[in-house]
Structure 1
């Protein structure tokens, strides 16, 4: 028994050390999964929520790794929602810029011209980004607008998914009885499958 006692104490010490290392490593890893999210908002007095919890419209906040939803709103402005993904402690920067759609918003724009110009510049950047993603998703856009025998091809916001800013419908305006047939031949001739496109036919 006297010989086993030191051995038992040694074994217990090893177990304690292992537990300390494992728990310490877990805490360090857990702390490292936090990311710093920096938000810049225009108007600077808008209401901003992060995963449904209100946060400051401008500043920094710590977020856990994973997907998060930011929603900005203000009287006189169009609300805006953006999803961000935090990864392994990497910092995130987000601009939440709203655009006026009512009297209160137009008054704010008149009283804050510098911020309004910055918001317009951001709108242009967002538009360019969306156009690039749309063209990658819908290569047929590179052919548009196109006027063929008895038809004209353009595009518009998606009819089947109107709330998705990155979805479109291919609009075929038909001028003659064979216009629809010619349009389908044009689509297939350029290597596109009509069944994969959201096509709207119109005679107007």
Structure 2
């Protein structure tokens, strides 16, 4: 009888422990929101890391809210790095396309024509998107190149932010004594703020 009592006590303790673990797990899960991160990569055999930890080149994983660094590498291709921000449980989708920068990458493209075409199409879409954002951010682009009496205005990749594909510098080639003054008058006369532009002056 005493043994039955001990068995009942042990079983009760085990049942209580299971309930505590389940409740604790539920509370942790409820206060630990995660979002789905879906990645699609070309080449599909590249090496992909998220904050330094390897993940599948293509697929879906769960991540907590926060900021992440995505890094893609493969022999024969230009590496790609992107900062991701995950907010709450909102799903995040990322497309990673590496572009060949050597014989190994060119050969891979020949052997994988479908993926190569998809990467080229993505490059075209990305270029169009960047150009649209640049045009919205820099209205002056609609007037460039512009030739004034003593200056010529063009643009180039940003000198102050060279790694940002969505930043530019306005290059003013001054070839007359009043070139700089005329350039500033042309800028302000069109309603643009010189202080908001990354201006580069050269002479020639």
The TM-score normalised by the length of structure 2 is 0.80
Kindly tell me: are residues 30 and 142 of structure 1, through their superposed partners in 2, closer, same or farther at Cα, counting changes over 3 Å?
farther
Structural mapping, 1:29-44, within 5 Å: 29-31=30-32, 33-44=33-44
Find the counterpart in structure 2 of residue 132 from structure 1.
132
Residue pairs, 1:11-22, within 5 angstroms: none
Q: Which runs of 5+ in 1 are unaligned?
A: 1-21
Structure 2 gaps, min length 5:
1-22
Number of aligned residues: 184
Cα 1:24–1:40 shift into 2, 3 Å: closer
Look up the match of 1:94. 94
**Partner SS, residue 75 of structure 1:** coil
Deviation at 1:25, TM superposition (A): 7.2
The farther-off stretch of 174-183 and 114-123 is: 174-183
Quote the residue 1:54 is aligned against: 54
**Partner of 1:196 in structure 2?**
196
Moved more, 50-59 or 167-176: 167-176
Partner SS for 2:117 = helix
Superimposed CA distance per residue, residues 69-103 of structure 1 (whole angstroms, 9 cap, x where no aligned partner): 21101111111111222222222211010111112
**What's the offset of the Cα at 1:45?**
0.9
Q: How far, CA to CA, are the matches of 2:108 and 2:162 in structure 1?
A: 29
SS at match of 1:195: helix
1:67-146 matched pairs, under 5 angstroms: 67-146=67-146
> CA RMSD, aligned part only?
2.3
